Amino acid sequence: MTVADEAEKYGLHRVGARPTLVNYLKETWQRREFIYELAKARVQSQNQRNRLGIVWIVLKPTFNALMYGFIFGILQGGSRGIDYPVFVVIGVFLFEFFSTSMTGGAKAITGNNALVQSLSFPRLALPVAQITQNVLTLMPMVVVMFIYALILGTTPKWSWLTIIPIIALFTVFNLGVALICARITVHVRDFTQILPLIGRVLFYTSGVLFSAERLLSHWPWMIAIFDVHPVYQTLQLARGMIMNVSEYDSWAWWVLTAWAVVTLLVGLLYFWKAEERYGRAN
């Protein structure tokens, strides 16, 4: 009998060994308080480092909406629509949530080497904490987004409450993206160097500043691509519910739900498979 067999007989396991997926999820759930406190502490630390504190959370997307909205509004001319200011505000504020989830998730493991190498816990807790942090940051942004919508002339409706399930599904999708990016960065550290470029490309190609139906009406095959674009459909769904525009149909719900479930499952399995690699000295 080998040493490994003898250890298995008495329930001894190798240090850092990957648990089963079910046990992995259970262990992560048991540390939910740690995840929340870690996320809250990071939000507080981030606010304390800036003189204006939490104000910067809404100032950044506000400045982006003003700058890009003005430039692209002029470039699109009459195709931008009369409701373009609200359109841009919703797009920029919600895309900020996706962007920070992707970039923050990529650094969830590599940016916490001291914690990973010194303590034993499921590494899944770190990307989850990052997404929790982003959700906490998103809350005041959503409030300000609605205030801007009111200022720009949008009438409040009960449909505004559907932002809750929209954000819930978008959060699930973003968690899956964060898990995938977190593992890629562990294998390829230079991945963080090209993430800003990827984020910028997605910003310009996800309908943050334009409506595919209006701008690409002469290219139906391109509109068909946007029909299954997860970020674009999320933004369109939010715009439809807040602006009450009939062109945004229920198809977006199915697209967002499918992407959220599939991305989370793929991301979870992909991240879990490399659990034993996280925290190893380079």
* Three state DSSP letters for 223-261: HHHHCCCHHHHHHHHHHHHHHCCCCCCCHHHHHHHHHHH
Return d(Cα 89, Cα 61) in angstroms, integer: 8
Nearest to 87 by CA among 171, 140, 168, 152: 152
Half-sphere exposure of 127 (CA within 13 A, CB side): 32
Q: Output the pLDDT for position 2.
A: 54
pLDDT value of residue 71: 62
Q: How many residues are present in the chain? A: 282
Phi, psi of 108 (to 5 degrees): -60, -35
In whole angstroms, how far apart are CA 236 and each of 28, 128, 226? 33, 26, 10
pLDDT at residue number 7: 44
Please give the Cα distance from 102 to 199 (Å, whole number): 8
pLDDT along the chain (282 residues), means of 10: 48 61 92 92 74 64 69 57 80 92 92 82 92 92 87 84 94 97 91 91 87 78 88 91 69 92 96 83 46
Can you give the pLDDT at residue 245?
Answer: 64
Q: Across 143-253, where does the E strand assignment appear?
A: none
For residues 16 and 276, the answer to whether their CB atoms sit within 8 Å is yes
Instruction: Report the C-alpha gap between 146 and 156 in whole angstroms.
Output: 9
- Tell me the C-alpha distance between 140 and 157, whole Å: 19
pLDDT at residue 30, rounded to an integer: 93
pLDDT of residue 211: 79
Instruction: Provide the whole-model pTM.
Output: 0.87
pLDDT at 181: 95
Joined tokens for residue 189: 């550290």
Report the candidate in 61, 277, 99 with the shortest Cα–Cα distance to residue 181.
99
Q: Which helix (H) or strand (E) holds 78?
A: none
